[in-house]
Amino acid sequence: VIATSTMKESQEEDAATSPISLTSSFVLPNSCEQLLYFVRLQTRSGVVQGLRKLGVNTPPTFDLKSLEPKQSNFVVRSIEIIKELEPDYLFNHNMRAYYFALAYSIKSDIKVDRELLFVAAMFHDLGLVEQVQEENTDHFELVGARKAYEFALEYSTDDEDWTGERAALLHEAIALHTSLKSMMNESDHITEHVLSVGTACDVTGMGLEHIHENVVDKAVQAHPRLE
Protein backbone atom coordinates (compact mmCIF):
# COMPACT_ATOMS: atom_id res chain seq x y z
CA VAL A 1 0.00 0.00 0.00
CA ILE A 2 1.54 3.28 -1.08
CA ALA A 3 -0.28 5.75 1.13
CA THR A 4 -0.43 5.75 4.93
CA SER A 5 -3.36 7.05 6.97
CA THR A 6 -1.46 10.29 7.49
CA MET A 7 -0.97 10.59 3.76
CA LYS A 8 -4.67 10.04 3.16
CA GLU A 9 -5.44 12.92 5.49
CA SER A 10 -3.05 15.19 3.62
CA GLN A 11 -4.60 14.02 0.34
CA GLU A 12 -8.01 15.19 1.51
CA GLU A 13 -6.62 18.54 2.63
CA ASP A 14 -4.78 18.99 -0.66
CA ALA A 15 -7.79 18.01 -2.75
CA ALA A 16 -9.85 20.63 -0.96
CA THR A 17 -7.46 23.40 -1.97
CA SER A 18 -6.50 22.08 -5.41
CA PRO A 19 -7.34 24.31 -8.42
CA ILE A 20 -8.72 21.16 -10.10
CA SER A 21 -11.72 19.30 -8.68
CA LEU A 22 -10.69 15.65 -8.64
CA THR A 23 -12.91 13.24 -10.52
CA SER A 24 -14.63 11.09 -7.90
CA SER A 25 -17.10 9.21 -10.09
CA PHE A 26 -16.87 7.63 -13.51
CA VAL A 27 -19.66 8.65 -15.86
CA LEU A 28 -19.50 7.56 -19.49
CA PRO A 29 -21.11 9.72 -22.18
CA ASN A 30 -24.42 8.33 -23.41
CA SER A 31 -24.50 6.04 -26.43
CA CYS A 32 -25.22 8.85 -28.91
CA GLU A 33 -22.31 10.93 -27.61
CA GLN A 34 -19.96 7.93 -27.72
CA LEU A 35 -21.01 7.16 -31.30
CA LEU A 36 -20.52 10.80 -32.34
CA TYR A 37 -17.02 10.90 -30.85
CA PHE A 38 -16.15 7.60 -32.54
CA VAL A 39 -17.34 8.80 -35.95
CA ARG A 40 -15.39 12.03 -35.59
CA LEU A 41 -12.24 10.14 -34.60
CA GLN A 42 -12.59 7.74 -37.51
CA THR A 43 -13.16 10.62 -39.93
CA ARG A 44 -10.11 12.47 -38.65
CA SER A 45 -8.05 9.29 -38.83
CA GLY A 46 -9.12 8.72 -42.46
CA VAL A 47 -8.08 12.25 -43.44
CA VAL A 48 -4.66 11.88 -41.81
CA GLN A 49 -4.09 8.49 -43.43
CA GLY A 50 -5.07 9.92 -46.81
CA LEU A 51 -2.62 12.79 -46.44
CA ARG A 52 0.15 10.38 -45.48
CA LYS A 53 -0.43 8.35 -48.65
CA LEU A 54 0.11 11.58 -50.58
CA GLY A 55 3.38 12.14 -48.73
CA VAL A 56 1.92 14.95 -46.65
CA ASN A 57 2.04 15.26 -42.87
CA THR A 58 4.44 12.34 -42.37
CA PRO A 59 5.19 11.87 -38.65
CA PRO A 60 8.80 12.35 -37.50
CA THR A 61 10.87 9.38 -36.36
CA PHE A 62 12.93 9.22 -33.17
CA ASP A 63 15.32 7.07 -31.22
CA LEU A 64 13.56 5.94 -28.06
CA LYS A 65 16.43 7.36 -26.03
CA SER A 66 15.50 10.86 -27.16
CA LEU A 67 11.95 10.36 -25.86
CA GLU A 68 12.92 9.34 -22.34
CA PRO A 69 12.02 11.66 -19.45
CA LYS A 70 14.65 12.92 -17.05
CA GLN A 71 15.50 10.31 -14.43
CA SER A 72 13.91 12.16 -11.53
CA ASN A 73 12.96 10.59 -8.25
CA PHE A 74 9.33 10.37 -9.41
CA VAL A 75 10.26 8.61 -12.64
CA VAL A 76 12.60 6.13 -10.94
CA ARG A 77 10.25 5.38 -8.05
CA SER A 78 7.23 4.97 -10.35
CA ILE A 79 9.13 2.34 -12.36
CA GLU A 80 10.14 0.49 -9.20
CA ILE A 81 6.62 0.48 -7.77
CA ILE A 82 4.84 -0.51 -10.97
CA LYS A 83 7.35 -3.25 -11.79
CA GLU A 84 6.69 -4.70 -8.34
CA LEU A 85 2.89 -4.56 -8.66
CA GLU A 86 2.18 -5.21 -12.33
CA PRO A 87 2.95 -8.19 -14.59
CA ASP A 88 5.54 -7.64 -17.33
CA TYR A 89 3.00 -7.43 -20.15
CA LEU A 90 1.21 -4.55 -18.44
CA PHE A 91 4.44 -2.70 -17.65
CA ASN A 92 5.48 -3.05 -21.29
CA HIS A 93 2.13 -1.62 -22.37
CA ASN A 94 2.74 1.38 -20.08
CA MET A 95 6.08 2.03 -21.76
CA ARG A 96 4.71 1.74 -25.29
CA ALA A 97 1.79 4.01 -24.40
CA TYR A 98 4.24 6.62 -23.09
CA TYR A 99 6.38 6.53 -26.25
CA PHE A 100 3.35 6.74 -28.52
CA ALA A 101 1.84 9.56 -26.49
CA LEU A 102 5.03 11.60 -26.56
CA ALA A 103 5.66 10.93 -30.26
CA TYR A 104 2.11 12.09 -30.97
CA SER A 105 2.58 15.25 -28.91
CA ILE A 106 5.77 16.16 -30.79
CA LYS A 107 4.18 15.49 -34.17
CA SER A 108 1.16 17.59 -33.18
CA ASP A 109 3.31 20.39 -31.73
CA ILE A 110 1.78 19.91 -28.28
CA LYS A 111 4.05 20.87 -25.42
CA VAL A 112 3.77 18.25 -22.70
CA ASP A 113 5.42 17.65 -19.34
CA ARG A 114 7.36 14.44 -20.03
CA GLU A 115 7.84 13.59 -16.38
CA LEU A 116 4.14 13.98 -15.61
CA LEU A 117 3.17 12.02 -18.72
CA PHE A 118 5.55 9.20 -17.85
CA VAL A 119 4.23 8.77 -14.31
CA ALA A 120 0.66 8.89 -15.62
CA ALA A 121 1.50 6.18 -18.14
CA MET A 122 3.07 4.05 -15.40
CA PHE A 123 -0.01 4.19 -13.15
CA HIS A 124 -2.86 4.35 -15.69
CA ASP A 125 -3.69 0.61 -15.60
CA LEU A 126 -2.77 -0.15 -12.00
CA GLY A 127 -6.47 -0.55 -11.21
CA LEU A 128 -6.50 -3.69 -13.39
CA VAL A 129 -4.09 -5.53 -11.09
CA GLU A 130 -5.89 -8.16 -9.04
CA GLN A 131 -4.34 -7.34 -5.68
CA VAL A 132 -5.23 -3.67 -6.17
CA GLN A 133 -8.75 -4.48 -7.39
CA GLU A 134 -9.44 -6.47 -4.23
CA GLU A 135 -9.01 -3.31 -2.18
CA ASN A 136 -11.30 -1.16 -4.34
CA THR A 137 -14.70 -1.28 -6.02
CA ASP A 138 -14.39 1.74 -8.33
CA HIS A 139 -13.69 1.67 -12.06
CA PHE A 140 -10.07 0.78 -12.72
CA GLU A 141 -9.37 4.27 -14.07
CA LEU A 142 -10.31 5.88 -10.77
CA VAL A 143 -8.35 3.30 -8.77
CA GLY A 144 -5.18 3.99 -10.74
CA ALA A 145 -5.76 7.73 -10.54
CA ARG A 146 -6.15 7.60 -6.78
CA LYS A 147 -3.01 5.48 -6.34
CA ALA A 148 -1.03 7.86 -8.53
CA TYR A 149 -2.32 10.85 -6.55
CA GLU A 150 -1.23 9.20 -3.29
CA PHE A 151 2.15 8.43 -4.85
CA ALA A 152 2.60 12.09 -5.88
CA LEU A 153 1.89 13.31 -2.36
CA GLU A 154 4.00 10.68 -0.63
CA TYR A 155 7.16 11.27 -2.67
CA SER A 156 6.97 15.05 -2.92
CA THR A 157 9.93 16.95 -1.49
CA ASP A 158 10.98 20.57 -1.34
CA ASP A 159 13.04 20.00 -4.50
CA GLU A 160 10.36 17.98 -6.30
CA ASP A 161 6.97 19.21 -5.15
CA TRP A 162 4.03 17.43 -6.78
CA THR A 163 1.40 18.49 -4.26
CA GLY A 164 -1.45 20.71 -5.37
CA GLU A 165 -2.03 21.24 -9.10
CA ARG A 166 0.53 18.73 -10.39
CA ALA A 167 -0.88 15.86 -8.34
CA ALA A 168 -4.37 16.84 -9.48
CA LEU A 169 -3.33 16.89 -13.14
CA LEU A 170 -1.83 13.43 -12.71
CA HIS A 171 -5.07 12.18 -11.16
CA GLU A 172 -7.26 13.60 -13.93
CA ALA A 173 -5.06 12.30 -16.76
CA ILE A 174 -5.45 8.74 -15.48
CA ALA A 175 -9.08 8.99 -14.36
CA LEU A 176 -10.22 10.14 -17.81
CA HIS A 177 -7.71 8.44 -20.13
CA THR A 178 -10.33 6.10 -21.63
CA SER A 179 -12.66 8.94 -22.57
CA LEU A 180 -13.18 9.49 -26.30
CA LYS A 181 -13.73 13.15 -25.45
CA SER A 182 -10.17 13.27 -24.09
CA MET A 183 -8.85 11.61 -27.24
CA MET A 184 -10.60 14.26 -29.36
CA ASN A 185 -8.61 16.91 -27.44
CA GLU A 186 -11.78 18.38 -25.98
CA SER A 187 -10.59 18.10 -22.39
CA ASP A 188 -9.07 20.95 -20.42
CA HIS A 189 -5.74 19.23 -19.77
CA ILE A 190 -2.93 18.35 -22.18
CA THR A 191 -1.61 15.32 -20.32
CA GLU A 192 -5.07 13.77 -20.22
CA HIS A 193 -5.46 14.15 -24.01
CA VAL A 194 -1.98 12.91 -24.91
CA LEU A 195 -2.18 9.90 -22.57
CA SER A 196 -5.57 9.01 -24.04
CA VAL A 197 -4.08 8.96 -27.55
CA GLY A 198 -1.02 6.97 -26.48
CA THR A 199 -3.00 4.25 -24.72
CA ALA A 200 -5.50 3.99 -27.59
CA CYS A 201 -2.65 3.64 -30.10
CA ASP A 202 -1.31 0.64 -28.22
CA VAL A 203 -4.60 -1.06 -27.33
CA THR A 204 -6.80 -0.47 -30.39
CA GLY A 205 -4.47 1.00 -33.02
CA MET A 206 -6.65 4.12 -33.14
CA GLY A 207 -4.35 7.11 -33.59
CA LEU A 208 -1.35 5.19 -34.94
CA GLU A 209 -1.55 7.25 -38.13
CA HIS A 210 0.12 10.00 -36.08
CA ILE A 211 3.10 7.79 -35.16
CA HIS A 212 5.94 6.89 -37.51
CA GLU A 213 6.22 3.16 -38.19
CA ASN A 214 9.86 3.20 -37.05
CA VAL A 215 8.84 4.48 -33.62
CA VAL A 216 6.16 1.79 -33.33
CA ASP A 217 8.63 -0.95 -34.31
CA LYS A 218 11.29 0.28 -31.88
CA ALA A 219 8.82 0.55 -29.01
CA VAL A 220 7.49 -2.96 -29.61
CA GLN A 221 11.00 -4.39 -29.90
CA ALA A 222 12.13 -2.72 -26.67
CA HIS A 223 8.91 -3.57 -24.80
CA PRO A 224 7.29 -6.53 -26.58
CA ARG A 225 3.67 -7.60 -26.35
CA LEU A 226 3.65 -10.51 -23.90
CA GLU A 227 0.93 -12.99 -22.99
179-201, pLDDT tens digit by residue? 766 766 656 689 999 999 999 99
pLDDT for the residue numbered 206: 85
Neighbouring C-beta atoms of residue 54, cutoff 10 Å: 8
Lowest mean pLDDT among 48-52, 54-58, 123-127, 155-159: 48-52
Most confident of 50-54, 180-184, 213-217: 213-217
pTM of the entire predicted model = 0.79
Q: Which residues of 157-166 are buried (b: 16+ CB within 10 A; e: fewer)?
A: eeeeebbbeb
pLDDT tens string 77-117: 999 999 999 999 999 999 999 999 999 999 999 999 999 99
Percent of the chain with pLDDT over 70: 70
Q: Is the dihedral of CA 100, 85, 147, 139 positive or negative?
A: positive
CA distance 84 to 77: 11
Confidence label for 227 from pLDDT (cuts 50, 70 and 90): confident
